[in-house]
Structure 1
Amino acid sequence: MNISKEQLDDLNAVVTVDIAKADYSDKVDSILKDYRKNANIPGFRKGHVPMGLVKKQYGKAVLVDEVNKLLQDALNKYLTEEKLDVLGNPLPKEQENFNWDADDYSFEFELGLAPKFEVKLNGKKAITHYKIVATDEMIDNQIKTIQKQYGKLISKDSAEKDDLINGTFVNEEKEIENQTTISLDKIKGKRNLDKFIGSKVGDVLTLKTKGLFTDDHDLMNALKVSHDEAHDLDIEVTFTISEINHQELADLDQDLFDKLYGKDTVKSVTELKEKIKQDADRQFVQQSDQQLLNDVTESVLENTKFDLPAEFLQKWIQATGEQPLTEDEAKDEYEKSEKGLRFQLIEGKIINDNNLQVTFDELKEFAKDLIKGQMAQFGQMSPEDKELEDIAARILSNQDEVKRISEQLMSQKLLAYYKENVKLKEKEVSFDDFVKEVYK
């Protein structure tokens, strides 16, 4: 057997595998002898079928199978030994007049090769690393939400500002009929609010949907319509009141603090605010870090330039798709996936060049930390190490879980690397300002 490579350019090559009769004949003969021993052919005793008949009936199939096995083993071994970094898989070239009746065979495979490049982490501008902080207003709103959640509902005869009104919205033309509870503090404008103030159970209010709520998403929930329908919806609806309640806020006392955080963990409103701020800041760190990963990804993609074997990859997509694709369809698929492939190559190079690979011991410790965090949410603050080891072992026996946790750990490693090596500028913002800047 002989294998050779023709380098067409930096990104494309053709590998030729020559297989001679001596490479496969012994194996084929051995398999056919086993077939002869076990063949059941009418007119012949088992084990006494003429070899010529066995070869005629099974020889070609056995030959093709064994040559293909040899071919794949040889090709994979060659790619590994030569350390060829290929994209996709080798594609067999079509060969005219190929003859399986010959003794010797020659197979050609097209290769798409990964490009050589240097990663450029930094562009002209520094990347913004947001530090999201919980404002006093946000903390106060959260406290009010908690007080509502743990407060009491007091039934009323007539509605006043900030009451909760239960009723049914109806519009026959749009087939809207939805029972819901609305808070009057979400009604927009004095004219709309005045229709509710003083209303009683059984009253039927006629309302315009446009500008009814301060947020169109509240209209979407109130009418049970789609997101797109809710925006700019301008119809008349009736609202039949079935219940009016005033929400009495829970007192900010030790009983409430203990319900929220456990006995004597928080002992004052000041400590409550600090606890809420700590929890919010912790969540904001995750959002900030995810945005940093996104921004670094875009920056590195923009600044790291290299070519890909596009023509080969389009042919590979066309040949390996679950369903047959035309050339144009394969080109479209390639264009959709090109950005992801580019970053996959960039990320792989960053990981390899900086030894950021995930080891099993790191994975196990990371899994144990995740488990401890989950157990803490249910009040188990100090689990024994053996219990953690057993749970981690069960989780890591599931390949899907291993993949998921490995990706989480790798994201943390990359994030730490970026924070050390990418030119960043920190910007302190409120959560609302963060949303405006990032999702503008």
Structure 2
Amino acid sequence: MNITRENIDALNAVVKVDIAKDDYADKVNTVLSDYRKNANIPGFRKGHVPMGLVKKQYGKAVLVDEVNKLLQDALNKYLTEEKLDVLGNPLPKPQDDLNWDADEFSFEFELGLAPEFDVKVKSKKAITHYNIEATDKMIDDQIENIANQYGKLIAKDTVEKGDEVTGRFFSEENEIDKSTTFSLDKIKGKKNTDAFLGAKVDDVLTLKTKGLFDETHSLVSYVGVNAEEADKLNVEVTFTITEINQREGADLDQDLFDKLFGKDVVKSVTELKAKLKEDAEKQFAQQSDQKLLNDVTENLIENTKFELPADFLKKWIQTSGENPLSEDEASEEYEKSEKGLRYQLIEGKIITDNNLQVTFDEIKEGTKEMVKGQMAQFGQLNPSEEELDNIAARVLGNQDEIKRINEQMLSKKLIEFYKENANLKVKKISYDDFIKEVYS
């Protein structure tokens, strides 16, 4: 067997594989001998069918099958040994005149090669990294909500100022269907407040989402819309009242603190505020990090210039799916996927050049931490290593879970890498202002 490569240009090559009879003859004869032992052909005893008859009936199919196996194995081995970074899969060049009665065969494959390029993570223009702070008002509102949540409910017939209303926001057209409970104090504007005051159970109110609540995150929580849409959403919804209650807040004492966080974790209202602020800002940090990852990704795609073997990739897209595509359809698919492919290559180079790969041991330890956190939510604070190992082993028995956890951990590594190496400017901002600035 002989394999040669002709580089058409920096992004395209053709590999030629020459296969001689000596490369496949022994394997074909072995397979045909097995066929002969097991063949059931009328007029002959099993195992005594003439080899000539077996070759006549099965020889061509076995030859084609074995040559194709040999071809694929040889091609894969060649690509690995030559360390060729190919895009898509090798495409066989059409051979309408291939003669399977010959002793020697030649096959050619088109290759699309990954480009060589440099990545500059530190851009000229600084990228904003948001430090989202929990405001005093947000914390005070959360404390009020906690006191109300653990306080007493007094059922009422008619909505009055300060009451708590339970009901269902609905808009079929805008795919809104959210059952929720909120204090009337959360409603913004006299017109909206007046719509509630005096209303009774089973009344249906018609409201506009724009300016309905005093804060953007309230619209996200109570109406169930996406954070990206909340600030600009202006649609009509109905709200059907199912309950009206006056809530008497619980005392902010040690019993309540212990119920919320465990014994003596929080011992005063000051410590309660600090704890709530810390927990809120941990959640905000996740949103900030995701925003940073998105922004750095966009920046890298825009500023890392390289060519792709576009014609090859379009041809590959045409034939790689379950159903062949036309040239126009393949071109359209390529346009849709080009940006993602570019970042895939950029991200792969960053990971390789900076040794950011996630090891299986890291995946295992990350899984154990995840399991430990989930167990803590149910009061199991000190699981044994054996318990964690057993549960992690079950989780990692699922390949989809391994892939998901690997992607999560890789994203964390990339975010930390970008924080250390990208040109960032930190901006302190409230959550509401973050939503307005990022999604408006």
Band of TM-score, shorter chain = 0.7 to 0.9
- Of 158-167 and 326-335, the range deviating more from structure 2: 158-167
Question: Tell me, what secondary structure is at the counterpart of 2:108?
Answer: strand
Q: Is 1:261 the counterpart of 2:264 in the alignment?
A: no
TM-score by length of 2: 0.88
Alignment match, 2:37: 37
**What is the CA distance between 1:376 and its match in structure 2?**
2.2
**1:219 deviation in Å?**
12
Paired letter, 1:214:
L
User: 2:164 and 2:40 mapped to 1: Cα distance?
Assistant: 84
CA distance in 2 between partners of 1:285 and 1:219 (Å): 18
Give the C-alpha shift of residue 369 in structure 1: 2.1
1:186–1:213 CA contact under 8 A, matched in 2:
no
Question: Does 1:233 find its partner at 2:231?
Answer: no
5 Å matches for 1:70-149?
A: 70-149=70-149
CA contact (8 A) 1:7 1:13 kept: yes
Cα distance in 2 between the residues matched to 1:211 and 1:131:
28
Which of the two has higher C-alpha Rg?
1
Cα displacement string for residues 230-278 of structure 1 (whole angstroms, at most 9, x for unaligned residues): 94439xx897x77542122222222221211122221211111011011
Q: What residue in structure 1 maps to residue 334 of structure 2?
A: 334
Q: Which amino acid aligns with 1:413?
A: K
Residue 419 of structure 1: how far off its partner (Å): 1.7
Distance, in Å, in 2 between the alignment partners of 1:167 and 1:78 is 66
- CA distance in 1 between partners of 2:35 and 2:123 (Å): 67
Please say if 1:356 is aligned against 2:356.
yes
Is the contact between residue 181 and residue 222 of structure 2 (CA under 8 Å) also seen in structure 1?
Answer: no
- How do 1:7-406 and structure 2 match up within 5 A? 7-165=7-165, 183-191=183-191, 193-194=193-194, 196-198=196-198, 209-210=207-208, 214-215=212-213, 231-233=234-236, 244-406=244-406
Residues 40, 97 of structure 1: CA spacing in aligned structure 2 closer, same or farther, 3 A cutoff? same
1:196 Cα deviation from its structure 2 partner = 4.6
CA pair 149-2 structure 1, distance change in 2 beyond 3 A: same
**Are residues 231 and 64 of structure 1, via their aligned partners in 2, closer, same or farther at CA, if it must alter by over 3 Å?**
same
Task: Identify which range, 215-224 or 47-56, moves more after superposition.
Answer: 215-224
Distance 2:22 2:189 in 1: 90
How has the CA–CA distance of structure 1 residues 108 and 403 changed in structure 2, closer, same or farther, with 3 Å as cutoff?
Answer: same
Task: Give the AA of the match of 1:59.
Answer: G
SS in 2 for 1:345: helix
CA distance in 2, matches of 1:287, 1:238: 30
Quick one: structure 1 residues 397 and 29, their matched pair in 2 at CA, closer, same or farther if it must change by over 3 Å?
A: same
- Structure 2 residue matching 1:312: 3-state secondary structure: helix
Q: Return the letter of the residue paired with 1:249.
A: G
Whether the aligned pair in 1 keeps the contact of 2:8 and 2:14 (CA below 8 Å) is: yes
Q: Is the 8 A contact 2:178 2:222 kept in 1?
A: no
Q: Deviations over 1:297-342 (max 9, x none)?
A: 1111111110111111111111111222111111111111111111
Once the two structures are superposed, residues 383-412 of structure 1 have per-residue CA deviations (whole angstroms, 9 ceiling, x without a partner) of 222222222222222222211111122122
| Residues 16 and 109, structure 1, Cα contact 8 Å, conserved in 2 | yes
Corresponding residue SS for 2:8? strand
Distance 2:278 2:239 in 1: 44
TM score, norm. by length of structure 1 = 0.88
| SS of corresponding position for 1:107 | strand
Task: Summarize the Cα distance change of 1:43–1:145 in structure 2 as closer, same or farther, 3 Å threshold.
Answer: same
Counterpart position of 1:174: none
Q: 1:211 to 1:18 in 2, by over 3 A?
A: closer
Gap change, CA 1:416 and 1:218, over 3 Å in 2: closer
CA contact (8 A) 2:132 2:285 kept: yes
Q: Residue 434 and residue 308 in structure 1: after superposition, are their counterparts in 2 closer, same or farther (change >3 A)?
A: same
Alpha-carbon deviations, 1:346-404, whole Å to 9, x = none? 11111111122222222222222222222222223332222222222222222222111
- C-alpha distance in structure 1 between counterparts of 2:193 and 2:181, whole Å: 15
Structure 2 residue matching 1:328: 3-state secondary structure: helix
Separation in 2, partners of 1:319, 1:407: 29
Cα pair distance change 1:120/1:223, threshold 3 Å: closer
- The reply to whether residue 412 of structure 1 matches residue 412 of structure 2 is yes
1:57 CA displacement: 0.6
Show structure 1 runs of 5+ residues with no match: 172-176
Distance 1:146 1:104, change over 3 A: same
Conservation of the 8 A alpha-carbon contact between 2:209 and 2:236: no
Q: Deviations over 1:126-165 (max 9, x none)?
A: 1111111111011011111112211222123543212235
Secondary structure in 2 aligned to 1:9? coil
* Preserved CA contact (<8 Å) 2:207 2:239: no
Tell me, yes or no, if the aligned pair for 1:147 and 1:249 is still in contact at 8 Å.
yes
SS of the residue 1:329 aligns to: helix
The CA distance in 1 between the partners of 2:397 and 2:103, in whole Å, is 48
Measure, in 2, the Cα distance between the counterparts of 1:170 and 1:16.
64
Structure-1 residue corresponding to 2:174: none
Report the Cα distance in structure 2 between the residues aligned to 1:431 and 1:219, rounded to whole angstroms: 12
Q: Distance in 2 between matches of 1:170 and 1:304?
A: 46
- Judge conservation of contact 2:209–2:234 (CA < 8 Å) in 1: no
Give the Cα–Cα distance (whole angstroms) in 2 for the partners of residues 4 and 253 of structure 1.
80
> Counterparts of 1:170 and 1:385 in 2: how far apart (Å)?
48
Shift of residue 76, structure 1, vs aligned partner: 0.8
Q: How many residues align?
A: 428
Whole-Å separation in 1 of the counterparts to 2:121 and 2:15: 35
Query: How far apart are the structure 1 equivalents of 2:347 and 2:251?
Result: 52
- Give distance in 1, aligned partners of 2:82 and 2:158: 83
**In 2, distance between residues paired with 1:238 and 1:252?**
32
The answer to whether the Cα contact below 8 Å between 1:213 and 1:219 also exists between their aligned partners in 2 is no
